[in-house]
Amino acid sequence: MARDKYQTLTEQMFYILICLTQESYGVDIMKKVEELTNGRVIIGPGTLYSLLDNFVRENIIIETKIENRKKNYIITSFGTEMLEKEYLRVTKLKRDYEALIKGGEQN
């Protein structure tokens, strides 16, 4: 099911998973994504909660510990695989664009 649902990742999903390559807790993720993208991608608290909840249910991330009521998460190998696939997909898009559009202009 997870494969079908997350065949492509939204930008918010992509950056959440990138942040979770290192153990982090929810509020940290929100801040990190904003910093990483210079405020281009922001994640609302409702969306963050839903995505983290769904990712845990689909075994894309796991809960590691709870410190002062703060839940920490880290990406799983399945999640890493998904992230890698997304990277390859986006790279392919980039290559295709360069070959078909930019290359086409040169010709």
Partner 1 sequence: MKDRSKRIMNFRYDRFEDTENKLEKLAAKGLFLEVCGSFSWTFRKGTPKKLKYTVTYFSEGSVFNPDITDNQQTYIDYAKAAGWNFVTQFNQMQIFSSETDNSIPFETDEKEKLNNIKRCMNKSFILPMIAMILVFLLNLIVQFNSFQLNPIDYLSDPIRLLSSSMIAAAVIYHVYSLMTYYIWLKHSEKSIALGGECVKNSRIMYKIVDIISMFILFGSLGYLLFFLAFKTSRFGLVLTVAQVPILMIVFWSSIKYLKKKKASATVNKLISYTVLTVASFAYLALFMAFIMRFGFGISNESNYQTVNWQLSETESYEYRLYSDEIPLTSEDLYGPIDYNYYSYEMEIDNTFFLSKSVYRQDSPPAKDAPPRIEYEILEPQFDFVYRLAKAHLLEIPEWRDNTTFELIDNKIFDTEEAYQLYYENTPTGEYTLFFGDRIITLNMKEPLTTKQISIVKEKLHI
Q: Where does this chain bind partner 1 (CB under 8 A)?
A: 10, 12, 26-27, 30-31, 42-51, 54, 69-71
In angstroms, rounded to a whole number, what is the distance separating the alpha carbons of residues 30 and 59? 20
**Whose Cβ is closer to partner 1: residue 5's or residue 89's?**
5
Residues near 72 by Cβ (< 8 Å), separated by ≥ 6?
Answer: 23, 24, 25, 63, 64, 65, 66
Give min distance, CB of 99 to partner 1, in A.
Answer: 26
Cβ at position 103, least distance to partner 1 in Å: 28
- Minimum CB separation of residue 102 from partner 1 in Å reads 25
Rounded to 10 deg, the angle between the 45-57 and 11-19 helix axes is 70
